[in-house]
Structures are given as C-alpha cells and as structure tokens.
Amino acid sequence: MNTIKDIDLNLLVYLDVLLRERNVTRAAAQLNITQPAMSNGLKRLRNLLNDPILVRTSEGMMPTQRALDMQEALRTVLYSVEEMIQPVREFEAATSDRVFRIMASDYAASTLMPRLLEALDEQAPNVSLDIMTPSDISFHDVENGKVDLAINRFEKLPQSFHQKVLWQDEFSCLIHKDHPLLQNYTLDEYLKAQHVWVSKTGFGVGVGMDPHDVQKLGWVDEALDKLEQRRHIKVFTRNYHVAMYLARQGLVATLPTRAAALYESDELLVKKEPPFTIPGLTLTMIWSPLLQHDAGHRWFRQIVADTAAEE
C-alpha cells in the first residue's frame, strides 16, 4: 500500500492537468514542462495507480473510470493546497489598478455593468474591467481562476464553483407604438406577429439556431410549447440592443424586464407584460474556489452583489 511519504506529490498536479486536457502535449504546455517529461509523469502515474489513466480512442485520449472517479476529489485537494499557500494581503481599492475579468452575457452586461462602473468610479477609480462573452471562455477558464467572475443564467454548474444569486427577473414585450398587435393584445395576435429572438447563455462557441428545436430556443418558446403554440421568429440575435432596435422597426421583442427597461423611455416603443406566463430567470455569478479567499476578489464580489441589489 502506498503512503503519502512514498509519493511524489507533483504527480497529483500532473494527473489533474492530464485529466483536464486529455492530451499529453497540451498538459505539458500548461505546466511549462517538456512533452517527454509529461509522458514520463503519466508512466509513473500508471505504475502508481496500477491503471492506464488515459486510453487512446478514435475520439482521442479518454480517461478511465478510475481516473474519472478520482477527478473531483483531486481538484478539492489541490484547491485546498492552493488556498493554504496563498500570501495574505490586504486589498486597497482606492489605489489598486487591478484588472478584473468578467464573463457576462449581453443581458448582464447591459443591465448591470453601467451601474457597476459608477460604483467603481467612486470606490476604485483605477480598477479596470475586462468583459468577455460566454463564447470567449469555458468552464475550465473559470475553474482555473483565469476569469474572476462569470455572470449569467446557468442550468447546471460544477459542484466546485462558488455562486451567488444576483437577482430574479421577469419578462416583458417591447412593441412599436403603431404595431397592430396593440389594438388587440391577445395571445393569438401575438403569435401572428413577427418576432425577434434573443438569448446568449452558456459557455463555448455558439452554433446556428434551429427554429424547430424548442429546447434550445429558451424561456419564451419553451413556455409557448407548453401551450402547444409557436411564434414566428423572423430574426435570431445574441445581442439585446439589436433586439430592442429591431422592435423599433416593427418586430416584437420578448425579453427580460430589466433589459426592456433600458428602452422604456423610447417614444416609439411600448413595454407590455406578455399575454402568457413565462417563468422568471435567475442571474447568478460564479467563481473559482481558487479565488474564494483572495482579498481583492472578496471586495469585488461584494461590490458586484451590492450593485445588483440596488433597485
């Protein structure tokens, strides 16, 4: 039986990166070591665990079941070690020039960021934000602390992430003031109108939309599907401002109320409650356990949460 004193603990770091990258060359690059050194590490891991760890398949290198079973516990151990050895430093917001990197959906960026910038100008005038879209990053980027926060609506999250709900939101319709729908605002007339679809959630590079794939169309169309109804979507966009601009051109935009409120004062648009029930959405921020105890990150999480709580 192996004991901790008999094990090169660097092998645990190797194993963690190998399971994430599933590629010896990329794993070596992550740790800034040579490919032969990583190959040797994999060989030693196989001898230590009496398991292949990674097996070559037609889809590339795939982890064995034992390797998958170890992965979550391994990440927990390494997170704990990372936290333990981090130096304790105070964060001086007034003088800091730190750049905080945020993945924010277009909805979150439009509704939260302007007020967040006002708060930063008051408390930390030299702090900067690097705002990225969901297609710019992956869960691995968040998990590894390369991104400070991800702010979006999430269906499922890895258990290792920390998270905080920022707000709940409902849905509204933006309709041109001269649109005939306003003369008879019913579900039937709503369905006859031409609509602009807007959404941007999740991680990774997006793909084209299929109007018949209700599960991927999201909140509005899932609610209609439960009524055995379907709307006519003329335009698909991932940008809320584009959707709201197209509402000025005559398309009906059904979108979260906080986003619709940005154009509430537009004299060409009328904001209405949808003529059917749409379940609300939850905006959540998530972050890596590696950043949980960082003083600057704690301060930043708090200012984001305080800004979101303001009405």
Domain span at residue 32 reads 4-85
Query: What radius of gyration do the chain's Cα atoms show?
Result: 24
Q: Are residues 209 and 293 in the same domain?
A: no
- What is the C-alpha separation between 113 and 99, in angstroms, rounded? 15
Structure confidence by residue, pLDDT tens digits, 250-281: 999 999 999 999 998 999 999 999 999 999 99
pLDDT of residue 211: 58
In a domain, 108, yes or no: yes
Report residue 267 as tokens.
């004299």
Q: Are residues 108 and 124 in the same domain?
A: yes
pLDDT of residue 239: 87
pLDDT of residue 290: 87
Structure confidence by residue, pLDDT tens digits, 36-75: 999 999 999 999 999 999 999 988 899 999 999 999 889 8
- 3 state SS of 35: helix
pLDDT of residue 63: 93
In a domain, 61, yes or no: yes
Q: Are residues 190 and 269 in the same domain?
A: yes
> Of 62, 85, 108, which closes a domain?
85
In a domain, 195, yes or no: yes
Q: Are residues 269 and 198 in the same domain?
A: yes
Q: Are residues 141 and 9 in the same domain?
A: no
In a domain, 90, yes or no: no
Q: Say how many domains are in the chain.
A: 3
Q: Are residues 151 and 196 in the same domain?
A: no
pLDDT of residue 196: 95
Regions of the chain where pLDDT drops below 50: 204-205
Report residue 62 as tokens.
């795939």
- 3 state SS of 93: coil
pLDDT of residue 88: 65
pLDDT of residue 205: 46
pLDDT of residue 270: 97
Q: Are residues 296 and 149 in the same domain?
A: yes
Q: Are residues 225 and 299 in the same domain?
A: no
In a domain, 56, yes or no: yes
In a domain, 63, yes or no: yes
